[in-house]
Amino acid sequence: MRMFKSNLSKNEFLNGNSEYNKKYLSQLKSEYEKFKEETLPRLTISELKIFSQTGERLLYERKYFKRRAMLRDFALVYWLYGDKEALLKLEKTMFEICRELTWVLPAHLGDDIYNETIDLFACETAQTLAEIISLLGEDLSDETVKRCKHEIEKRVINPFLNRTKPYNWENMNGNWCAVCGGCIGMTALYLIENDALLSKVISDIKCVIDRYISSFADDGACLEGLYYWNYGMMYFTAFIDLYQHRMGHEFLTDKEKIQKIAGFASECCIGDGFTVSFSDGYERDKIYLGLMCKLNDLFGTRIAEYEYTAEFEGDECGRWCKAVRDIAWTKDKKNHIKQTNVFFPDAQWAIIRKNNMKAAVKGGTNAEPHNHNDIGSIIIIKDGEMVLCDLGAGEYTSDYFSDNRYSVFCTRSEGHSVPIINGCEQKAGESFRCNQFACSENRVSAEISGAYGIKELKSCIRTLICEDNKIVIHDEFAFEGGFEVTERFITRCEAVRCENTVKIMSHGVCKAEMSTDNNCNIEISFQPHREHDGRETRITIIDFKCQAKDEYNFLVKIS
């Protein structure tokens, strides 16, 4: 089986003189020097089984992803510099990955560790090996190339061709469609020489890719969060680029909608290095610069400022596709435009900026991809400090993706800056939604009563007003009879109560004050929280507890 030759080029990046290029290559070389002295982590069956026994993922996954990072680094260093030691280590690593019991992560295997499922990471592994031998095949031994092709066919291509029913990701909405579909499509474009067989694979993949695009609303927002936009769009864009290179024509899909989707990432940059972290997002997420440059070439979309660009370091999964395209696609060009207010009407997200104050507000539903019960959630930044936060993604465990999901602090509404009414949190499900969402120059208004499923709650209108040097949050309740409302606010900062004012502190310095004229009891407490990478942190909870009857207005000023 012959290989189709990749069109990825290193020349422009190596000849470039930007600080980004220099830092990127310096980080790669530094990590390579470390990795070449280390032994490839060993994956054991006992560690593979830990997830099914305890629900814990990180022990096995850290070793699994380090192996991919070592594969990536050895391949990149040889491709860029012709380092012979890197080539030797690359071939050894490729053989070791071919010997793995499975390329699928334990969380996606189910009870049978020998089943022939195909998940995100099996697909990524196949695409990585196929692309490496496409780029470097002339310099790899025949044995290495033959073994890699055999394992790719056995583990991914043949199961996909011979499936008797669709894989679950073929009917999903979101990043799985783009990653699995894009990887299988690219692997087929590299490996399959027979036109009829290739046409069959691409025909099936087109349905998956079209489903990915249709999973976005018309405003282009990614409800899974910016991290998953990065993930899905990287593999989608890599696939359509390789498809055009091999087939000689564009991959037909909805270009007008893709242009809106392509612009989503830069719109999520709130300011001061912070990004929108709704759903399973991150507060300081980074965007792939190579991807942004390619989308700018294709659709003219804006490239985010440098502080938002992902460097070489920081990819916990060691992804080859991202790193090699950072090199092949990055161009030293500027397309920065001063950020203005952003409103996604379908997703019901709004970002408002006023001098030193910035805010993001979410409406939506409580049945979104990577859903959190978070209707009305707010993020507030003052003078470069995130004083109220949305925690975003927690540690991924079996509970996190099970019926126990909303026992996790960061996914339930108690872990967001939203009201608790008569002790009730928001509920999960499609019917629990924001009924109205409006945005003007400095004001966002959301009717969030539908999130609670409380029949006596007639309305709950949350309004955020962003002014010079202050933000006002105004909640208006209409209720049948008496009720209690806890106005909850979440921060990573410390908090100190001073009568009807709460000082939000960072490193002993007051960064903001929350003040209210309402007659309420203010309580400050702390909650342990496990971050996505498994670190345990402490979150500060600020509760304004109020008693009310029939109609009630709560107003807090943050300045």
Give 243-284 pLDDT, tens digit per residue. Answer: 999 999 998 778 899 999 999 999 999 999 999 999 999 999
- Identify which of 291, 287, 285, 286 has the alpha carbon closest to the alpha carbon of residue 324: 291
Helices 142-152 and 120-136 cross at an angle (nearest 10°) of: 150
One DSSP character per residue, 293-344 reads: HHHHHHH-PPPPPGGGB--STT-TT--HHHHHHHHHH------------EEE
Composition of the chain by helix, strand, coil, percent to 5? 40, 25, 35
Q: Which are the contacts of 142, defined by CB distance < 8 A and separation ≥ 6?
A: none
What's residue 336's pLDDT?
Answer: 59
Alpha carbons within 13 A on the beta-carbon side of 404: 7
Q: Where are the beta strands (DSSP E) in 232-304?
A: 269-271, 274-275
Sign of the C-alpha dihedral computed for residues 468, 558, 445 and 368 taken in this order:
positive
What does the pLDDT average to over 307-336? Answer: 90
DSSP state for residue 276 in the 8-state scheme: -
Q: Is 450 left (phi over 0), alpha (psi -120 to 50) or beta?
A: alpha
Helices 195-214 and 226-247 cross at an angle (nearest 10°) of: 150
Mean pLDDT of the chain: 94
> Per the structure block, which two tokens stand in for 361?
């507000």
Q: How confident is the model over 72-106, as pLDDT tens digits?
A: 999 999 999 999 999 999 999 999 999 999 999 99
> Per the structure block, which two tokens stand in for 106?
């334990």
What does the pLDDT average to over 329-337? Answer: 76
What share of the chain in percent tops pLDDT 70?
A: 99
Which H helix or E strand runs over 132? helix 120-136
Contact indicator for 518, 475 with CB cutoff of 8 Å: no
Q: pTM for the full model?
A: 0.93
Burial label for 159, CB within 10 Å (0-12, 13-18, 19+), is middle
